[in-house]
Amino acid sequence: MMSDYRVQGETGEWEVVIGLEVHAQVTSNAKLFSGAATAFGAEPNTQVSLVDAAMPGMLPVPNRECIRQAVRTGMAIDAQINKWSRFDRKNYFYADLPQGYQISQLYHPLVGEGSLMIEADEKAGIPEAKRIGIERIHVEQDAGKLMHDQHPTMSYVDLNRSGVALMEIVSRPDMRSPAEAGAYVRKLRSILRYVGSCDGNMEEGSMRADVNVSVRKPGKEFGTRTETKNVNSVRFVMAVIEGEAKRQVALIESGGTVVQETRLYDPDRNETRSMRSKEDAHDYRYFPDPDLLPLELDDAFLAECRESLPELPDAKRARYLAAGISAYNADVLTAEVESALWFDALLETGAKPVAAANWVTSELFGALNRLGKSFADCPVTPAQAGELLGLVADGTISGTIAKQVFEKMLESGDGAAAIVEREGLKQTSDTGAIEAEIAKVLAANADKVEQYKAGKEALFGFFVGQTMKAMQGRANPQVVNELLKKALG
């Protein structure tokens, strides 16, 4: 089923066609072609080598890890890996581009055709799962940074980012709504983080997207697209698409034509504007970088890349579904690599998948939210959680008591069994003690007993609750049920 997202114009409905070019910073210690560090937030121009500053006579030598990470990413989207690729120079002049060219890959990219799956999300308007094509991934250098507000007549150039490795991940124009584009970016980010090839940190600029948008009457030829550069959050990507589609429809319907151009998004005004000033002389004169030979990958290199790939979100999700975990919980657990890995470790302690998934998505997520923590600094280990869930599973404590125990675990850092022991929270199946309490409850509620016996069976739950309360939650609920049924005859 196709997306039914439409822009309503005066002449009828318009369909939106979206393609994304995502620039993802490759996780590496050193830059793509030099030994300077890539860490975020350093003093200006300290992480700059003679190579990055394009001093005369400097030469690039590619970083193996950057190539490896791009290949692993390609494998994670089932893409064709090109054993023979080349670096090309993209020539243009700008103050943040010291060489006067960016080393990129136009003619022979490292990674060819692949795809990823976005899941159905009825609420967001994605009726069913959809495969989004990815045309290519190539490796290229990032540019430096310009600062405009430090001096009345000058801009300042910081080259710390100059030469940092980027993957440019180019999608097919397969998306038809802001929601699909948002889901695509989230899924891509999730895959990159599973693979470990990009930290996905959009605030720090580790991931940003160029958003290509065009509109057409449903089923007709593609319209002319615009490209909005450097959009740095999922929310903004969706906002750009929504705004740009409306702008294009209004433009066309008022008799204008969309021009192929580069636009810039202003989040404060939530609108895009043309960068036409820069369009005048774009002729990048791409040609193979004569400082670099063709990049040839051997089978051993590719095998290592493949073997080092972790279980990816789709496979993990399928495994969770097969274990009986709900689709919702499976989505939540697999969305971020940290929660998925934590959950897998919990399963390894022998925890029952469904109960464990419910506990993690409700109790643990709740606690982390409340404490402002994440799985990276999770206050309980999977082993500790496994111990707690084990106590519930073997009937030592009830679910209700488990909540109390978990709170005490968070407070004290002690183990679940130790807390249960110390606080005497062990659930009892001592029929004598339970029968004594049941007798008291029934005696104190003679009227309700009458009503129950007269057929108001819903009151059974009331008696269970009262008994459990009297037992301070420590009674085995199953035993309570049985004894109550017997007592109420």
Partner 1 sequence: MAIDQATVRKIASLARIAISDAEAAAMEGELNGILGWVEQLGEVDVTGVEPMTAVIPNRLRLREDVVDADPLTGGNRRDDILANAPAPQHGFFGVPKVIE
Partner 2 sequence: MMTDLTNLTVAQIRDGHRAGDFSAVEVAEAFNANVAGAKALNAFIVETPDHAIAAAKAADADRAAGTLKPLSGVPIGMKDLFCTNGVQTTAASHMLEGFVPRYESTVSQKLWDAGAGMLGKLNLDQFAMGSSNETSYFGNVISPWRRKDGGNAALAPGGSSGGSSSAIAARLCPAATGTDTGGSIRQPAAFTGISGIKPTYGRCSRWGIVAFASSLDQAGPMARDVRDCAIMLENMAGFDPKDATSLNLPVPNWEAALSSDLKGKTVGIPKEYRLDGIDPDIDAMWDAGIAMLKDAGANVVEISLPHTKYALPAYYIIAPAEASSNLARYDGVRYGLRDLPQGAGLQDMYAATRADGFGPEVKRRIMIGTYVLSAGFYDAYYTQAQKVRTLIARDFEQAFASCDVILAPTAPSAAFGLGEKMADPLAMYLNDVFAVPASLAGLPAMSVPAALNREGLPLGLQIIGKAFDEQGVLNAGLAIEERAGFTARAEKWW
> Can you give the binding site for partner 2, defined by CB under 8 A?
50, 53-62, 89, 91, 93-95, 98-101, 155, 157, 283, 285-287, 290-293
Question: How far separated are the first and last CA of the chain, in Å rounded?
Answer: 56
Measured from the CB atom, the residue of 290 and 424 that comes closer to partner 2 is: 290
Tokens 């490796």: give the residue: 139
**Which of partner 2, partner 1, none has residue 57 at its interface (CB below 5 to 8 Å by kind)?**
partner 2
**Which of partner 2, partner 1, none has residue 99 at its interface (CB below 5 to 8 Å by kind)?**
partner 2
Three-state SS across 470-481?
A: HCCCCECHHHHH
CB of 261 to partner 2, least distance (A): 17
Measured from the CB atom, the residue of 88 and 363 that comes closer to partner 2 is: 88
Q: Which two tokens stand for residue 282?
A: 């774009």
**Which of partner 1, partner 2, none has residue 345 at its interface (CB below 5 to 8 Å by kind)?**
none
Residues that bind partner 1 (CB under 8 A): 28-30, 34-37, 43-53, 55, 61-67, 86, 93, 95, 146-148, 150-159, 264, 281, 283, 285, 288, 292-296
Q: What are phi and psi of 391, to 5 degrees?
A: -65, -35
Q: Which residues pair with 40 in a beta bridge?
A: none
Measured from the CB atom, the residue of 292 and 341 that comes closer to partner 1 is: 292
Q: Which two tokens stand for residue 25?
A: 């910073």
Q: Which of 154, 162, 134 is nearest to 36 (CA)?
A: 162
Measured from the CB atom, the residue of 153 and 254 that comes closer to partner 2 is: 153
**Which of partner 1, partner 2, none has residue 86 at its interface (CB below 5 to 8 Å by kind)?**
partner 1
Q: Please answer whether residues 30 and 64 qualify as being in contact, where contact means their C-beta atoms are separated by less than 8 angstroms.
A: no
Tokens 């089978």: give the residue: 299
Which ranges in 254-312 belong to alpha helices (H)?
Answer: 299-307
Measured from the CB atom, the residue of 285 and 453 that comes closer to partner 2 is: 285
**Which of partner 1, partner 2, none has residue 374 at its interface (CB below 5 to 8 Å by kind)?**
none
CB of 43 to partner 2, least distance (A): 17
Burial class for 410, CB neighbours closer than 10 Å (0-12, 13-18, 19+): middle
CB of 43 to partner 1, least distance (A): 7
**Which of partner 2, partner 1, none has residue 219 at its interface (CB below 5 to 8 Å by kind)?**
none
Measured from the CB atom, the residue of 291 and 311 that comes closer to partner 2 is: 291
Burial class for 56, CB neighbours closer than 10 Å (0-12, 13-18, 19+): exposed
Q: Please answer whether residues 207 and 237 qualify as being in contact, where contact means their C-beta atoms are separated by less than 8 angstroms.
A: no
CB of 153 to partner 2, least distance (A): 10
CB of 159 to partner 1, least distance (A): 8
Q: Please answer whether residues 245 and 211 qualify as being in contact, where contact means their C-beta atoms are separated by less than 8 angstroms.
A: no
CB of 263 to partner 2, least distance (A): 21
CB of 240 to partner 1, least distance (A): 18
Q: How far apart are CA 310 and CA 330, in angstroms?
A: 17
**Which of partner 1, partner 2, none has residue 287 at its interface (CB below 5 to 8 Å by kind)?**
partner 2
CB of 74 to partner 2, least distance (A): 22
Burial class for 8, CB neighbours closer than 10 Å (0-12, 13-18, 19+): exposed
Count how many Cα atoms sit within 13 Å of the Cα of residue 180 in the half-sphere of its side chain.
28
Measured from the CB atom, the residue of 94 and 222 that comes closer to partner 2 is: 94
**Which of partner 1, partner 2, none has residue 111 at its interface (CB below 5 to 8 Å by kind)?**
none
**Which of partner 2, partner 1, none has residue 463 at its interface (CB below 5 to 8 Å by kind)?**
none
CB of 55 to partner 2, least distance (A): 7
Q: Which two tokens stand for residue 308?
A: 């080092």
> H or E stretch including 68?
helix 64-76
